Amino acid sequence: MGIHPMTLSLFVVLAVTGGLVSAWLGTPLAALIGAATGLFGVISLRVARQWQKAVVLRLGRFHRLRGPGLFGVFPFFDTIPYWIDLRTITTPFTAEETLTKDSVPVDVDAVLFWRVMDPVKAALEVENYKEAISWSSQTALRDMIGETDLSEMLIGRRKIDAKLCQMIDERTEAWGIKALSVEIRDVKIPVGLQDAMSMQAQAERERQARVILAESELQVANKFKEASNSYVESPVALHLRAMNILLEGMRQNSTVVIVPSSAVETMGLGAMTGLTSLAKEFAPTKGSGPGKAEKAVESVR
């Protein structure tokens, strides 16, 4: 934290006031006193922001924490080596070309959300707490990748995030730092493995489709079996169903359906009965030659 504008303003006011008094009295003593007082205020007064804590060392030893707001230090005896930020901080970290438990190289990007809970430990127990937590997070991520299969890493990210956050928190607790959460942003795998996984997924979907189709065929076969049992008990229903199928086919396609005489006999209608009906319909008039019915009989024979 640099010199606050308020202390600079105080120095200017005291220096100008001392200069005016010196000019009025005709002696430079007042100007020197005003400048010295302003300089003392500049080097002894500090202002910490709302989210900051100042670590004050006196003659090299920890003295106290100060802030937020205005506070004073003893010049030439007190120093402020650290201004600790108490807000939540985000730190991105990566693990490149790290082998999973099933020996697959992956690149993982993650983000750590953390906060300083004890400014004294953060300042005195580690040289650079921000750099230390970054390296600690990366090491924990590599350890986590080595203990996890690729499939588990791709599916169970929330579980891995929670476990990784716990590992980092255990390592940084001695530094007065609390790991709040970890979020894995991306998991990159080799291109060749991506193609293999895509083919595997496609084959799995085809297998599921075939299984579903086979189950559908089995259900249809069971329904047909139930229907056949009903037709066994009532042959007339089977004949009516057959006739209905023929009628629906002729209506939909508007074509003539040729049915073997054996099928007609199976329906119980009888081939000769049909021919008799045709003969009655096309019976010749008196004095005419062979009728259409006789020609129809000859064609059937």
Mean pLDDT of 184-193: 80
Q: What span, in angstroms and rounded, lies between the C-alpha atoms of 107 and 142?
A: 10
> Do the Cβ atoms of 140 and 168 come closer than 8 Å?
yes
Mean pLDDT of 192-207: 74
Q: What is the domain class of 89-189 according to CATH?
A: alpha beta
pLDDT reported for residue 249: 64
**56 Cβ contact partners less than 8 Å away, ≥ 6 residues apart:** 62, 63, 64, 65, 66, 73, 78, 79, 80
Q: Where are the alpha helices (DSSP H) in the chain?
A: 5-25, 29-44, 119-124, 129-146, 150-155, 157-172, 191-233, 235-253, 261-266, 271-281, 292-300
- The yes-or-no verdict on residue 114 having pLDDT over 90 is yes
Reported residue count of the chain is 301
Mean pLDDT of 47-66: 89
Helix (H, G, I), strand (E, B) or coil at 296: helix
- The yes-or-no verdict on residue 28 having pLDDT over 60 is yes
Return the minimum-mean-pLDDT range out of 2-11, 107-116, 218-227, 291-300: 291-300
- The yes-or-no verdict on residue 109 having pLDDT over 70 is yes
Report the range out of 2-6, 10-14, 216-220 with the highest average pLDDT: 216-220
pLDDT reported for residue 86: 92
Report the range out of 10-14, 153-157, 198-202 with the highest average pLDDT: 153-157
The mean pLDDT of the chain is 76
Over its C-alpha atoms, the chain yields an Rg (Å, rounded) of: 48
Ramachandran angles phi, psi of 16, nearest 5°: -65, -40
Confidence of residue 88 (pLDDT cuts 50, 70, 90): very high
pLDDT reported for residue 106: 86
pLDDT reported for residue 299: 43
> Do the Cβ atoms of 73 and 83 come closer than 8 Å?
no
Confidence of residue 253 (pLDDT cuts 50, 70, 90): low
Q: What span, in angstroms and rounded, lies between the C-alpha atoms of 237 and 68?
A: 95
DSSP state of 77: T
Confidence of residue 111 (pLDDT cuts 50, 70, 90): very high
Confidence of residue 254 (pLDDT cuts 50, 70, 90): low
Domain ranges of the chain: 5-85, 89-189
